[in-house]
Each structure stands twice: as structure tokens, then as C-alpha cells.
Amino acid sequence: MPQPENFAKGLSIGIIMDGNGRWAKKRGLPRTAGHKKGAEVFQDITRYCNSIGVESVTFYAFSTENWKRPYEEVGAIMKLFGEYLIKAFDYEKENNRVVFLGDRSALEPKHQKLMNEIETKTANNTGMTLNIAVNYGGRQEIVRATRILAEKVKNGELRPEEITEDLMSAHMYTCGQKDPDFILRPSGEKRLSNFMLWQAAYSELVEMDVLWPDFTRADLDLAIEEFNRRSRRFGGI
């Protein structure tokens, strides 16, 4: 069904890419096959978000808890991530600004170098902001911001009473960005899994019973339609 003009324009979306392993298991494939297919869907949905006027989209690619997975699976995910980094420069043609959220110090130096280069090279792009959360955890992000502010208080640069919600937001990885209008979680699960805990305080939650490797542009349209039907009161009436 054709969508009305501007139905997605200006939206900020957070996406928990969930269900890769289950998708592979249902087909008798190794979990790595699910991650590979999921990476292809990620690239397609990124391009689609850009084409329909989404302001920013944040993909939850690898959490701080994902290190607990089998060594082989983690290695495969990081290999895919490295391949994406090489391809990422193609997104410059689409005028995307690319930002990586999370503690990159645990990643391979070559990946850290590429991440820094991509962020620098796309920093002045004026199109959609593409956030990729890697080695990211919402609690870790809040603790990091708190430590930065505590250090400023310790050094006499800041008084405790000057710490506000706006100041906290300014020390999150998403500094300067709009909070997500909605968090999308495919796969049928109904939890945030430590994703954007600060930013999602008033985000709508949209769950869909479709595994991420099966996710399509039409599914995203349905998610946006669901969001657009919601009445957001932000604690008011």
C-alpha cells in the first residue's frame, strides 16, 4: 500500500536486531548464517530509512553482554562487522553521518581505526544519522556519563547542583541527537535488553513477531504506521 508523503520524515528510530540465531536454527544452518543474513537486512533497511526521510536510526549490533556467546559466534560477528566497516564508505554517497555508540576500546585496533576514519569522513554529511551500537550497554553509557561529570565536579569545573537532565544527555554517546521516537524489536521479544535506557524514557515500544533476517521494508512501514497511531502524552493528558 502506498504510504502518505512524509509518513516517516523526521523520525528517530532505535532497532534491536534480534532473531538471527533462531532464524538459522529453524533452517538447520549455523548461527553465523543468521548473522550474515541479518547484516544484509541491516544494509537494506538503512538505505530505506534514508530514502523515506528518517532523521536518525540506531541499530543495536553488539551488546556488552554479547561477549558471553560462544567464541566462534563472536568471532563471526566481528568478522562481519569488519566487512561492514570496509563497505561503510559507500554510505557517504548517500550523505549519511555515521556514529558508533559504545566502548570501542575492546575492539580490534584495525576496527577502531576504521571507525574513527568513518566518523571523521562523514561528520559533515547533512543526511540521515546512522548510529551503530557496538559493545554498547545502556547502563554502561549512563555510568560513563556519570563518571565524566563526577570528574568535572572533583576538578572544580562543575557544581553538583548544576547537573541536569540536559547535561546528562550531553554526555551520552548520542549527544546532540533527538531521542528515539520509538524502539522497534522484531522477533517477538518484549524487552529493551539494555538498549538506550536513558534515551528511551518516553519512546514508544513496537514489537513485531518477525525474526530480523526476515524483516523487510514493508515490515518497517507497518512499524511506522503503528507508531503514527499512538498518542504520545509524555506524562500529560
Provide the residue range defining the domain that includes 115: 12-137+179-229
**What 3-state class would DSSP assign to 55?**
coil
Q: List pLDDT tens digits, range 177-191.
A: 999 999 999 988 899
* pTM score of the predicted model: 0.93
Which residues contribute to the annotated binding site for substrate? Answer: 19-23, 31, 35, 63-65, 67, 69, 185, 191-193
Residue 85 counted as domain residue: yes
Q: What is the DSSP string of 34-45?
A: HHHHHHHHHHHH
Options 18, 96, 131, 181, the catalytic residue: 18
Q: Hey, what's the cell of 102?
A: 559504545
Residue 203 lies in a domain: yes
Binding residues for Mg(2+): 18, 204
Residue 162 DSSP label = G
**What CATH number does residue 192 fall under?**
3.40.1180.10
Per-residue pLDDT tens digits for 51-77: 999 999 999 999 999 999 888 889 888
186 within 8 A of 166, measured Cβ to Cβ: no
Which one of 6, 44, 50, 66 is the catalytic residue? 66
Number of domains in the chain: 1
SS3 content of the chain, % helix, strand, coil (to 5): 50, 15, 35
User: Cα–Cα distance between 55 and 52 in angstroms, integer?
Assistant: 9
Among candidate residues 131, 134, 145, the one with its CA nearest the CA of residue 96: 131
CA-to-CA separations, 164 to 170, 186, 195, in angstroms, rounded: 10, 34, 22
Confirm whether 154 is domain-assigned: no
Let me know if residue 166 belongs to a domain.
Answer: no
Please report the pLDDT score of residue 138 as a whole number.
Answer: 98
Q: Around Cβ 11, how many Cβ atoms within 10 Å?
A: 20
Binding residues: 18-23, 31, 35, 63-65, 67, 69, 185, 191-193, 204
The SS3 assignment for 97 reads strand
pLDDT tier at 80, thresholds 50, 70, 90: confident
pLDDT at position 231 is 76
**Model confidence at 1: pLDDT above 60:** no
Burial of 125 (0-12, 13-18, 19+ CB in 10 A): middle
161 domain residue, yes or no: no
Catalytic-residue membership of 103: no
**Is 237 inside a domain boundary?**
no
Q: What is the pLDDT of residues 97-132, one digit of tens each?
A: 999 999 999 999 999 999 999 999 999 999 999 999
Domain assignment present for 95: yes
Q: What is the mean pLDDT of residues 76-101?
A: 83
Active site residue 66: yes
How far, in Å, CA of 198 to CA of 177, rounded?
Answer: 13
Is 121 contained in some domain? yes
